[in-house]
A = this chain, B = another copy of it.
Amino acid sequence: MTNKRSVVLISGGLDSATVLAYALSGGYETTAVSFDYGQRHSIELESGERICQHYGIERKVVNLDMKQIGGSSLTSNMKVETRSIDEISESIPTSYVPARNTIFLSVASAFAEVLDADTIFIGANAVDYSGYPDCRPKFFNSMEDTINLGTKRGQHSRLRIAVPLQYLTKGEIISLGMRLKVPYDLTHSCYNGEEEACGECDSCLLRLKGFMDSGFRDPVKYKKYPDFYKKYIGKSVL
């Protein structure tokens, strides 16, 4: 038995599923927290539920309508742009949701306080990422200071924000997840929010490149595959 407790932010995507498996493998008693924030790909919430059921852990879903804030293609009618895999990370894309991780981690810190958890896990990544400012290591360091100053718990013991995938490439994340037996078939990464992934948005491209780099094949179905992945699945894969 363990007395380590954690809160894990679960979107339903590949990274958060991997980070959940990582927290559980570390012996943390874990509560998952997801947000219904008006994301167009709200299908990820169902994926999150299936992942939590797979692991038999409790999940809290917090309703917070970010549509009324706007400013993002993920929460409005703005089109999610498509760009080539090489263009990703060159600029902040329209899928950026203003202050999303700040908001998510704030709410997670409230849950952590009430559940007496000492660690918040988040599946953010600063290598193969979409250029969001709130995925950078210096953001998380500052946020950790802030939540410790802003909570009662932080006055006597430190609450930690753990970002274990921070410095891994997408390929390395998938390699780690495969060792941890993450049910990637249950995850949903596509921004467009249909049952079948589009294979064109940043999120699909980064995911497929990650599977290619790790030597595995993505178990999820796609409407179409980018050329680089077509060449790859022509070869034999794990």
In the bound complex, CA of A62 to CA of B155 (Å): 29
Is there a chain B Cβ closer than 8 Å to A147's Cβ? yes
Q: Are B154 and A71 in contact (CB-based, < 8 A)? A: no
In the bound complex, CA of A143 to CA of B149 (Å): 9
Query: For residue A107, which residues in chain B have a CB less than 8 angstroms away from its CB?
Result: 64, 69, 99, 103
A positions within 8 Å CB-CB of B = 60, 62-66, 68-71, 92, 96-103, 105-107, 109-111, 113-114, 133-134, 136, 138-139, 142-143, 145-147, 149-152, 154-155
Min CB distance A89 to B, Å, is 14
In the bound complex, CA of A64 to CA of B109 (Å): 15
Query: For residue A96, which residues in chain B have a CB less than 8 angstroms away from its CB?
Result: 152
- The interface residues of chain A, by DSSP majority, are classed as helix
In the bound complex, CA of A65 to CA of B35 (Å): 12
In the bound complex, CA of A92 to CA of B69 (Å): 32
Q: Are B69 and A110 in contact (CB-based, < 8 A)? A: yes
Query: For residue A114, which residues in chain B have a CB less than 8 angstroms away from its CB?
Result: 69-71, 98
